[in-house]
């Protein structure tokens, strides 16, 4: 009879601990999930598929600054790259890139990194224990 009581107590203790761990994981995920607010800024890149002069770069920069939500623009005529930051609450990078091509009549498209690019971008992120735990929890939920 005493062994049965001990087994039952251990089982209830184990179930309690597992329940608390699950509750903690859900709480951490709920609190730390990314939320966009008025201070959030996103960086995007547009690659231009044709030569760009300094005058074109100035016109591109002026046009980009007139776009809703865009707050900082860098145009490099040598590499034909436009990098800009914007508020995700006001616009999206895809919308800006589509308007860019349509209104400025340039062969251009938004640069989106491949999985290979992302895997090689930060050597610490992919091998970090915290990152692996986060990805595991994110995959479960």
- pLDDT the model gives residue 138: 78
What does the pLDDT read at residue 39? 86
What local confidence, expressed as pLDDT, does residue 131 receive?
Answer: 75
From residue 70, alpha-carbon distances to 9, 15, 60, 93, 108 in Å are 60, 51, 13, 9, 18
Question: Over the chain (141 residues), what is each successive 10-residue block's mean pLDDT?
Answer: 86 94 88 81 93 92 94 94 94 92 90 80 66 78 71
How high is the pLDDT of residue 124? Answer: 59
Q: What pLDDT score does 122 carry?
A: 67
């Amino acid at each position: 009879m005493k062994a049965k009581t001990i087994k039952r107590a251990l089982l209830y203790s184990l179930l309690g601990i597992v329940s608390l761990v699950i509750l903690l994981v859900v709480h951490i995920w709920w609190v730390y999930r990314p939320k966009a607010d008025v201070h959030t800024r996103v960086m995007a890149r547009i690659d231009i598929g044709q030569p760009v002069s300094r005058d074109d770069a100035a016109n591109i920069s002026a046009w980009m600054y007139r776009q809703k939500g865009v707050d900082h623009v860098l145009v490099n005529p040598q590499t034909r790259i436009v990098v800009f930051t914007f508020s995700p609450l006001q616009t999206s990078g895809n919308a800006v890139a589509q308007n860019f091509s349509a209104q400025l009549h340039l062969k251009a498209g938004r640069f989106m990194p491949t999985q290979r690019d992302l895997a090689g971008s930060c050597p610490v992120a992919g091998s970090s224990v915290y990152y692996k735990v986060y990805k595991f929890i994110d995959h479960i939920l």
